[in-house]
Amino acid sequence: MLKDYYRILEVSPQSTPLEIKKSFRRLAMLYHPDKHDEDKIASAQYREIQEAYDTLTDPYKKEAYLQQRWYEQSMGRKLKGSAPLTSSNILRDALSLEKYISTLDPFRIDKEGLIQYMEHLLSDDAVDILHKENEPAILSGISGILLKSGKVFTRSQAERLAILLEKLSKKNSDESMAIRQYLSEKTKEANRDRWKIPLILIVTFLLCFLIYLASK
C-alpha cells in the first residue's frame, strides 16, 4: 500500500515547499532518536518522516510518487497513513495481505502486482528493521504468511519471493528448508504445466483418429 507522505508530514498536497520544510523540522525535533533512547516506535516514526521529506523535496522522486499516488487513488485504494516501520507493523501488513488474498479468486489475482507489493513490504529498510529488532517469532510468521500467499505465483515470481525470504531468514535452517521446498513444488508445477498443452493435443488427436476409424 502506498504511503501518504503528506499525512506523515502533517501537511496537505497544496502545501508550499516552505510549509513542508517547517513541518518536517517540527516533527523531526519531536521524534529524533537522540530524544528517545531505545524507543523503537519513535525511531521508526522518525524514519518515516525523513523518507517522506526526502521524497517530497526531490523533484524526480516527487514526480514518480505523485504519479503512483494518482494511480492508487484513481483505483479507489486508500493510502497508508503514518504507521511507523516496525516488526509488529510489518507482520500486521502481512496478515492483512493474507486476509485480502483469501477473498480473491486465485485464477484472477494480479500476480505481478502481488509480488511487487511483497517486494515493497520487505524492502531493504524493512528487512534491516526486522533484523535489528530480532523477533524470531515475527520473522518466522512473516515468512510463513508470504510463502502461503505465494502459492499462486509462477516459477519466476516464486524465485523473486524466495530471494526476499532468504534475506529475511538469515540462513535459518527451518525457514530455508521451507523456501527450498516451496521452490521445488513450483518447479514441479511448472514442469507439469509445460507438458499439459502437448498432452491435451495428443489426446485430442488420438480421439479424433479413433472417431475417424470408427466411422469407416
Instruction: Indicate the residue among 48, 82, 116 that finishes a domain.
Output: 82
Please tell me the total number of residues recorded for the chain in this structure.
216
Instruction: Indicate the residue among 30, 51, 82 that finishes a domain.
Output: 82
Instruction: Assess whether 126 and 169 both reside in one domain.
Output: yes
Instruction: Assess whether 78 and 92 both reside in one domain.
Output: no
Instruction: Assess whether 53 and 95 both reside in one domain.
Output: no
Instruction: Assess whether 107 and 197 both reside in one domain.
Output: yes
Distance (Å, whole) CA 197 – CA 194: 7
Helix (H, G, I), strand (E, B) or coil at 1: coil
Residue segments in the chain with a per-residue pLDDT below the cut of 70: 1, 36-39, 74-84, 170-172, 193, 195-197, 199, 209, 212, 216
Confidence (pLDDT) at 37 = 67
Confidence (pLDDT) at 124 = 83
Instruction: Assess whether 72 and 121 both reside in one domain.
Output: no
- The domain of 188 spans 85-216
Q: Can you give the CATH number for the domain in which 77 is found?
A: 1.10.287.110
How many domains, in total, are found in the chain? 2
Instruction: Assess whether 31 and 97 both reside in one domain.
Output: no
Instruction: Assess whether 213 and 137 both reside in one domain.
Output: yes
Instruction: Assess whether 58 and 96 both reside in one domain.
Output: no
Instruction: Assess whether 7 and 95 both reside in one domain.
Output: no
What are the backbone angles phi and psi of residue 38, rounded to the nearest 5°? 65, 15
pLDDT one-digit tens code per residue, 123-158: 888 888 888 888 888 998 999 999 999 988 988 999
Q: Long-range contacts of range 145-148, CB-CB < 8 Å, 24 or more positions apart?
A: 145/91, 145/94, 145/95, 145/97, 145/98, 146/94, 146/118, 146/121, 146/122, 147/178, 147/179, 147/182, 148/98
Instruction: Assess whether 133 and 160 both reside in one domain.
Output: yes
Confidence (pLDDT) at 80 = 61
Confidence (pLDDT) at 10 = 86
pTM given for the model? 0.57
Instruction: Indicate the residue among 24, 49, 82 that finishes a domain.
Output: 82
Confidence (pLDDT) at 191 = 79
Confidence (pLDDT) at 81 = 58
